[in-house]
Amino acid sequence: MNGTEFQKVEEAVSFTTRIIGRLECGPLVSDELGIAQNVISRLWQRFQDDGNVRRRYSTGRPRVTTPNEDQYLAVTAKGNWRSIASDLSRQLSSATGTTISRQTVYRRLGKIGLYARRPVRCVPLTATHCRLRLAWSREHALWTPQQWACVMFSDESRFSLQSDSRRTFIWRAPGTRYQQENIIERYGGAGVLVWGGIILGSRTDLHVQIGTMTSQIYRDVILEQHVRLFRGAMGAQFVFMDDNARPHRANIVSECLQSEDITRMDWPAFSPDLNPVEHVWDMLGRRVAARQPPPTCLPELRRALLFEWCNIPQDQIDNLILSMPRRCTDCIASSGRHTMY
């Protein structure tokens, strides 16, 4: 107890002692001291019972779990990091007979630094993927904004009428979000396919693909109707980035790029976190999901995607492109593994 706290206690004791003194002398003191009568009565009863007016010591509400039970919760949560609080509560009750609430589970695990958080969803990476990602990041880490301004980043994405709420939680410590054991690897799913390209200061029109994106469609529609126009406007300094999807690497696509004198950027496989377009898809998805009323059929979804794509602020897209040096640095720091992007 510091000096200030000790002084407050002494003042409180002195004040209650004055009350007892008045009571022993007989007169009514509630009006005189400005204290409620029920407070006066409780102090008088305490003085008669104990001979003093200090607050009785109380240990508070007893803990519902023992240290051993707290340890059991911790071991169980770490062993099955996807388990939810109600499951942990049931397992504890089955093992020890002690029943606790979900809130108690959160408090006990929070005491040891474990918190329920959504896992990061990423594509699976092999050692070869990490090596290639690391090499690419080292090669481009010192690129200037002027060099990045010449690159068109492109990608496809799928959108669905049904949102993925991803109501999955894991138990992890702060600062461990991107550790491998806290990542759920992401795989493809069905939906409406779209393609888009971004470049500093501009973007392509959004292409909504009906059916599968084949190499012929990629050449005839994506390259001929979108990419080629930017190459003509920017000249030989233009660089086109696309990923390693099979339609992108077909011979007819490579021949088209060569005939149009379009430079293609080498790209490491399974590296959506290095592509700023991924964040544009996130923006687009949030904007479509926020529409009132939301799209209820595929034609409405298509119209919403086209409208919202055109209305994403260009400065937000530019900031994503200018984040490329940081993305490279982060990939190098993680030795080619998953990054915060």
Domain CATH code at residue 137: 3.30.420.10
pLDDT at position 290 is 87
Task: Tell me the average pLDDT across 267-274.
Answer: 93
Do 154 and 269 fall within a single domain?
yes
Q: How many CB atoms lie within 10 A of CB 42?
A: 12
pLDDT at position 114 is 83
Q: Which domain, by its residues, includes 102?
A: 67-117
- How far is Cα of residue 283 from the mean position of the Cα atoms in its chain? 14
pLDDT confidence band for 167 (50 / 70 / 90): very low
d(CA 223, CA 230): 10
Say if 180 falls within a structural domain. no
d(CA 59, CA 127): 55
Say if 57 falls within a structural domain. no
Do 46 and 74 fall within a single domain?
no
Do 148 and 266 fall within a single domain?
yes
CB 87 within 8 A of CB 149: no
Boundary residue ending a domain (117, 142, 159) = 117
pLDDT at position 341 is 77
Do 99 and 32 fall within a single domain?
no
Rg (CA), the chain: 33
Q: Tell me, what DSSP letter sits at residue 37?
A: H
Share of the chain above pLDDT 70, in %: 74
Do 76 and 154 fall within a single domain?
no
> In this predicted model, what pLDDT tens digit does every residue of 222-251 receive, in sequence order?
999 999 999 999 999 999 999 999 999 999
pLDDT at position 116 is 76
> In this predicted model, what pLDDT tens digit does every residue of 107-155 receive, in sequence order?
888 888 887 776 666 678 899 999 999 999 999 999 999 999 999 999 9
CB 95 within 8 A of CB 72: yes
Say if 56 falls within a structural domain. no
> In this predicted model, what pLDDT tens digit does every residue of 170-213 receive, in sequence order?
656 776 665 655 555 443 334 589 999 999 999 999 999 988 89
Say if 182 falls within a structural domain. no
Q: How many CA atoms lie within 13 A of 308 on its CB side?
A: 23
d(CA 216, CA 253): 8
pLDDT at position 188 is 38
pLDDT at position 2 is 54
- How far is Cα of residue 274 from the mean position of the Cα atoms in its chain? 17
pLDDT at position 192 is 86
Do 109 and 131 fall within a single domain?
no
Share of the chain above pLDDT 90, in %: 47
Say if 339 falls within a structural domain. no
Do 88 and 21 fall within a single domain?
no
Q: CA torsion angle for 311, 314, 320, 324 (degrees, to 10)?
A: 140
Considering only 60-64, 102-106, 161-165, which range has the smallest mean pLDDT?
A: 161-165
Interacting residues of 96 by C-beta distance below 8 A, sequence separation 6+: 69, 72
Do 110 and 143 fall within a single domain?
no
Do 108 and 131 fall within a single domain?
no
Do 224 and 96 fall within a single domain?
no
CB 165 within 8 A of CB 180: no
Q: How many domains does the chain have?
A: 3
Do 104 and 197 fall within a single domain?
no
d(CA 111, CA 103): 12
Say if 21 falls within a structural domain. yes
140: its two tokens: 């481009």
Say if 31 falls within a structural domain. yes
> In this predicted model, what pLDDT tens digit does every residue of 25-47 receive, in sequence order?
444 555 566 667 777 677 667 76
Tokens 């001929």 locate to 224
Residue of higher predicted confidence among 302 and 296: 302
d(CA 114, CA 78): 9
Do 71 and 147 fall within a single domain?
no
d(CA 338, CA 125): 8
How many residues make up the chain in this entry? Answer: 341
Tokens 């305490």 locate to 46
Say if 133 falls within a structural domain. yes
pLDDT at position 265 is 97
